[in-house]
Amino acid sequence: MTQLIAPTVPAPAPADAPEAVGDPWPASARPGPGGDLLVGGVGLAEAAERFGTPLYVLDEAEVRARARAYRRAMPHADVLYAAKAFLCSAMVDWVAEEGLGLDVCSSGELWLAASAGLPAQRILLHGNAKSPEELRLARRLRVGRIVIDGPAEIARLAALVAADTPQKVLVRVVPGIAAGHHAAVQTGVGGQKFGFPIEGGDAADAIARVLDQPGLELAGLHCHLGSQITEVEPFLRAVDALVGLMAEVRDRYGVELRELDLGGGHGIRYLPGDAELDLAAFAVRVTDRLAVRCAEADLEVPRLVVEPGRAVVGPAAVAVYRVLSVKHTADGRCFAAVDGGMSDNPRPALYGSPYMVRLVGRRSEAGTARVDVVGRHCEAGDVLVRDAVLPADLRAGDLLAVPAAGAYQLSMASGYNLVGRPAVAAVKDGRARLLIRRETVEDFRLREVGR
């Protein structure tokens, strides 16, 4: 068995400190004065007053602790933070300082990371539709690895590369494993747009074509099964499938591949009591399985690469909204409309994703009521939390906080209804600082260049 240091969850609070609020809130979350909730030592209501709402409050220590937990659990692996979950320059700094690299999937993410100072060697670029400009930028910046996702890319990339400065590439394969919280994010199976299926021989053919290109240095295989996976088992089956293909590549082409990238997809808790991927178990079982399968196939153990996004940033942010109206309908429903919605968090509308919500900034002695927390957008489907349990005296002006808001919310936010994307404030050691200002109507207007 591989010897592991237990992943660090943020340090336990001193004995006299108020008790942690618990999952799925950041580990630093504590009850504050007057019904407030402290995150990173900062009151959410206080932050909302200072920066306005909707506001995303990002706990720097939580991001760092989660990144560090990966490094410690998998010291032998390359851990690349999946930028698509949420990216800004501060995130680049934090994950890089904790020893992670970055996985990017567009020239935008690549450019932001490189401008923030991350050495491009620590960046991996993937995506199913990389444009020629994106590939050129990746080459110009000397990106460490590029993941080949489709046949057209092989020649396109090879044409950009001089044989004396080869580009390290991985080939993305589809192992035929269904995993992930919604059909829209299941990428380990056939019948979807990513990668080369192993079954039927597409993957082996693509590998042969890459090996034929002197400018491309085939470092290994890549796969990404899906997102919000809470069991280790699918990853073990992916190891089996990829090692099987590596052995085939060795037998057919005489080449031993040095890297095996299992992608991301590590699940987190959105509701108390939800399952989450057990990082320590993942690290031990995947490492052991890889060693066993490689020994069976007489292969050297390749370097493992993982690309967690959600599990690094998801639990680190809380979204804070202001209630704008509370409506009781004749059929007994209650709708609390807030000043954000599907434009800052499209996940409930897209995937039916569940969230929890609580009142902050005021104590209520009233009982509880079932409330649909809805957004401000012009669609009946703009519901953030259905059937939330909230104080029965909830009223306009109240503040509501939604935990586990760090991943795939702001990164998928839109300009719907010209509401503008929310501000992001980082909290740490009792201090808050603005990382990203609120988007204003002036930002929208500035993009207009004609009428």
Give least dist CB 354 to ligand LLP, A: 12
CB of 211 to ligand LLP, least distance (A): 22
In the complex with ligand LLP, the residue whose CB is nearer, 163 or 178, is 178
Measured between alpha carbons, how far is 381 from 377 in angstroms, rounded to an integer? 9
Q: Is 268 in the site for ligand LLP (CB under 6 A)?
A: no
How many residues touch ligand LLP under the rule CB under 6 A: the total is 23
Of the candidates 38, 61, 73, 85, which one interacts with ligand LLP according to CB under 6 A? 85
Q: Is 390 in the site for ligand LLP (CB under 6 A)?
A: no
Residue tagged 């006299």 (tokens): 16
180-219 positions binding ligand LLP, by CB under 6 A: 185
Q: What are phi and psi of 133, to 5 degrees?
A: -65, -40
334 given a catalytic annotation: no
Q: Which of 30, 64, 72, 310 binds ligand LLP (CB under 6 A)?
A: 310
Residue 181's nearest CA partner among 23, 353, 314 is 353
Site string for ligand LLP, 346-385 (x = CB under 6 A): -x---x----------------------------------
Contact indicator for 60, 427 with CB cutoff of 8 Å: yes
Q: Does 404 bind ligand LLP (CB under 6 A)?
A: no
Candidate segments 35-43, 162-170, 237-245, 307-315, binder of ligand LLP by CB under 6 A: 307-315
β-bridge mates for residue 102, sequence order? 81, 123
Cα separation values, 78 from 64, 73, 263, 308, Å: 16, 11, 11, 11
Among 264, 302, 340, 420, binds ligand LLP (CB under 6 A): 264
**Separation of alpha carbons 85 and 210, rounded Å:** 30
Nearer to ligand LLP, 79 or 137 (CB): 79
Binding of ligand LLP by 269 (CB under 6 A): no
CA distance 24 to 27: 8
Report if residue 340 touches ligand LLP, rule: CB under 6 A: no
Amino acid at 22: G
- Residues of this chain, 166-185, that bind ligand LLP according to CB under 6 A: 185
Instruction: Pick between residue 234 and residue 308 the one whose CB is nearest to ligand LLP.
Output: 308
Encode 184-209: b = buried (16+ Cβ within 10 Å), e = exposed. Answer: ebbbbbeeeebbbbbeeebbbebbee
Return all residues near 380 (Cβ < 8 A) that are at least 6 apart: none
Binding flag, residue 53, ligand LLP (CB under 6 A): no
Residues within window 108-147 making contact with ligand LLP, judged by CB under 6 A:
126
Catalytic pick from 105, 294, 334, 378?
378
Residue 107 vs 228, nearer CB to ligand LLP: 228
What gap in Å lies between CA 442 and CA 422, rounded to an integer? 14
Regarding beta strands 101-104 and 358-360, do their DSSP bridges make them parallel or antiparallel, or are they unpaired? unpaired
Among 82, 158, 338, 410, binds ligand LLP (CB under 6 A): 82
State the chain's maximal CA–CA distance in angstroms: 74
Is 84 among the residues that bind ligand LLP (CB under 6 A)? yes
Smallest gap from Cβ 352 to ligand LLP, in A, equals 11
**Which residue has 């809805």 as its token pair?**
374
Q: Select from 51, 70, 235, 408 the one that contacts ligand LLP (CB under 6 A).
A: 408
Beta carbon nearer to ligand LLP, 309 or 391 = 309
Minimum CB–partner distance for residue 171 and ligand LLP (Å) = 13
Only one of the segments 222-230, 252-260, 296-304, 431-439 lies at the binding site for ligand LLP (rule: CB under 6 A); that segment is 222-230
CA distances from 103 to 92, 110, 120 (A): 11, 9, 11
| Residue among 51 and 70 whose Cβ is closer to ligand LLP | 70
Q: According to the binding rule CB under 6 A, does residue 51 interact with ligand LLP? A: no
Question: Using the rule CB under 6 A, which residue among 23, 103, 134, 344 binds ligand LLP?
Answer: 103
Choose the stretch contacting ligand LLP; rule: CB under 6 A; options: 133-141, 301-309, 423-431, 440-448.
301-309
Q: Smallest distance, Å, CB 206 to ligand LLP?
A: 16
Residue numbers of the site for ligand LLP (CB under 6 A)?
A: 82, 84-85, 103, 126, 185, 224, 227-228, 263-266, 307-311, 347, 351, 407-408, 412
Active-site residues, by number, are: 378
